[in-house]
Amino acid sequence: MNDFALDLRGIAKAYNKGRPSEVAVLRGASLAVKPGEVVALVAPSGAGKSTLLHIAGLLDTPDDGAVRHGGRDMVGLSDRDRTEARREDVGFIYQFHHLLPEFTALENIVIPQLANGQSEARAQARAKDLLARVGVAERAGHRPAALSGGEQQRVAFCRALANAPRLLLADEPTGNLDPATSDQVFSALMSLVRDTGLAALIATHNMDLAARMDRIVRLEQGRVV
Ligand code: ADP
Residue 64 near residue 57, CB atoms below 8 Å? no
State in Å: Cα 51 to ligand 1 middle.
Answer: 7
pTM comes to: 0.94
Per residue in 61-76, pLDDT tens?
Answer: 999 999 999 999 999 9
Q: What angle do CA 168, 160, 111 make, to 5 degrees?
A: 150
* Nearest CA, atom 19, ligand 1: 51
179-196 and 149-160 helices, crossing angle to 10°? 20
Residue 108 near residue 144, CB atoms below 8 Å? yes
Task: Determine the Cα–Cα distance for residues 22 and 207; give it in Å rounded to an integer.
Answer: 31
| Ligand 1 pocket list (CB less than 6 A) | 15-16, 23, 25, 43, 45-51
Task: Determine the Cα–Cα distance for residues 126 and 164; give it in Å rounded to an integer.
Answer: 10
* Nearest CA, atom 22, ligand 1: 15
> Which of 23, 95, 221 to probe ligand 1 with, by most ligand atoms within 8 A of CB?
23
* Nearest CA, atom 16, ligand 1: 46
B/e letters for 80-112, b = 16+ CB within 10 Å, e = fewer, are eebeebbeebbbbbbbebebeeeebbbbbbbbb
The atom of ligand 1 lying closest to the CA of 171 is 2
Per residue in 155-167, pLDDT tens?
Answer: 999 999 999 999 9
Strand order in the sheet with 72-73: 23-33, 6-15, 64-69, 72-73
State in Å: Cα 49 to ligand 1 middle.
Answer: 8
* Nearest CA, atom 24, ligand 1: 15
Give φ, ψ of 154 to 5 degrees: -60, -40
What is the pLDDT tens value at each position of the chain, 225 positions in all? 468 999 999 999 999 988 999 999 999 999 999 999 999 999 988 999 999 999 999 999 999 999 999 999 999 999 999 999 999 899 999 988 899 999 999 999 999 999 999 999 999 999 999 999 999 999 999 999 999 999 999 999 999 999 999 999 999 999 889 999 999 999 989 998 998 889 999 999 889 999 999 999 999 999 999
The atom of ligand 1 lying closest to the CA of 51 is 6
